[in-house]
A and B are shown apart, each in its own frame.
Chain A
Amino acid sequence: MEKFILAFVVGGAICVLGQILLDVFRLTPAHMTVTLVVIGAILGGLGLYEPLIEFAGAGASVPICSFGNSLVNGALTEAKRHGIIGVLTGIFEVSSAGISSAIIFGFIASLIFKPKG
């Protein structure tokens, strides 16, 4: 039960941050999303995001900042193995499943459905 509460609180706090970026700082939805990705990437690079996932589980791994963390993790892991070129090849390594499925399912949905307005 404690796990669920932690996930709810941490995930909710990230969403509150997003809402503040929209309402107070008047960012567009795209700018808000990118800002959260960048925050996740910075925290990931400093080694702070993995402990957050261990602490809050899905509360930290589901929000979009987790994507920033994955990008940096992939790049750093590959960089250790292959040097500087690994930074480029590694960026999408961890997150490729998410990106590919977004493209493929988005494409399928566009074939089946019509915009409602």
Chain B
Amino acid sequence: MLQGQQSWLFSNRPVLLATAVAGGPFEARSAIAADFDILHDDLWLGQNSFEKAEKKLLEEACLASIQKAGIQKEEIQFFFSGDLMNQIISSSFTARTLGIPYFGLFGACSCSMEGLALAAFVVNAKGAKYALTACSSHNGSVNKQYRYPTEYGAQLPPTAQWTVTGAGAAVVAAEGTGPRITGATIGRVLDLGVTDPFSMGAAMAPAAVDTILAHFRDFNVDASHYDLIATGDLGEIGHAIATDLLRRQGIEMPGNIFTDCGVIIYQDNQPVMAGGSGCACSAVVTYGHFYNRMLKGELKRILVVATGALLSPLSYQQKESIPCVAHAVALEWEGV
């Protein structure tokens, strides 16, 4: 329940019962390829548009997570989902396929933890026995909508990031075995005036720092409480800025604890400039890589701070700056 200013403490400790992640061909060569449940060697997934391919990724991840949870989709009360497409079509069209009562979310790339926090809140408050949360992004569809179609051949600056083609889904349950969702901190929207859509990490870093500080304050903990604190998709530049901003607040984040999903997802030899980004970035790393590491007992307590840049193609063309948000969810694995 309400903890401090802007956090929730989930006293009934909802369970992250099952997760599933799907990815595209570039993700099949990533550093965490082994953590994917479904990988495709075709960026189009056999569809005739990138948008349809993204929807298919999201559907696959949702259905796989439901199957792994060992339940029927009719047993799930609510579905929380978000994505980057205009009018969040990937999520809404997937909700049409699933037929589960649906909350559509838009928090850009913070959707993963926004959805998980809300699903956990509802399950914790006994508003549902099972809730499904998911999000997706696709390199082709996102570049087409926000930047330039790839075939236009626009040169990318080194601060740019690579949108992850993938989807992550998780089933949150009142009871069962799995990592527990212990708390969440909902972020404020911050805007420090960055206008460059090819420098998202720099734009989002202050929002991530604000949410991390709020989380530490509300729960009266520090970084040593966690085995791992991961931001969503700041990339190398944003991660360095966030580390620096925290240092200025007197908080030294240990390098072995503080990381970023966008930094760890791809291999060094993949041409991703500053790192990965997109809704799927934090979703596939959390629901795939971190989840598996928790099940193996390598990680006991983690905090995932998903970061989102709340711009639209129109807003930046009209020279508006980029407002950003970050939402944090804490997970805890007690062992079987």
Contact = CB atoms under 8 A, between A and B. Distances in A.
Given A26-B196, A29-B148, A116 B43 contact: yes
Contacts of B313: none
B154 A29 contact: yes
A115 B155 contact: no
Interface of A: 22-23, 26, 28-29, 114-117
A116 B165 CA distance: 13
Q: Interface size class for chain B?
A: 10 to 19
A110 B266 CA distance: 31
A28 B156 CA distance: 10
B157 A115 contact: no
Contact of A115 (B26, B150, B154): B150
A23 B157 contact: yes
Query: Which 10 residue pairs spanning A and B have beta carbons closest together?
Result: A29-B154, A115-B151, A117-B140, A117-B150, A117-B43, A117-B139, A115-B150, A116-B150, A22-B155, A29-B155
- Interface of A, helix, strand, loop or mixed by DSSP: loop
Most buried by A among B26, B43, B150, B151: B151
B41 to A, nearest CB: 13
12 contacts: A22-B157, A28-B154, A29-B148, A115-B140, A115-B149, A115-B150, A116-B150, A116-B151, A117-B26, A117-B43, A117-B139, A117-B150
Most buried by A among B140, B149, B155: B155
A106 B152 CA distance: 12
Contacts of B139: 117
B323 to A, nearest CB: 20
A79 B251 CA distance: 71
Interface string B150-171: 1110110100000000000000
A32 B218 CA distance: 48
Contacts of B150: 115-117
A28 B155 CA distance: 9
A117 B44 CA distance: 9
A11 B140 CA distance: 33
Interface string B118-148: 0000000000000000000001100100001
Contacts of B151: 115-116
A47 B190 CA distance: 52
Contacts of A28: 154
Contacts of A114: 44
Contacts of A117: 26, 43, 139-140, 143, 150
A29 B139 CA distance: 20
A114 B143 CA distance: 16
A116 to B, nearest CB: 6
Contacts of A22: 155, 157
A116 B152 CA distance: 11
A63 to B, nearest CB: 16
Nearest to A19: B155
Contacts of B140: 115, 117
Most buried by B among A22, A29, A115, A116: A115
Nearest to B138: A117
A13 B150 CA distance: 27
A116 B150 CA distance: 8
A23 B198 CA distance: 12
Nearest to A113: B151
Contacts of A116: 43, 150-151
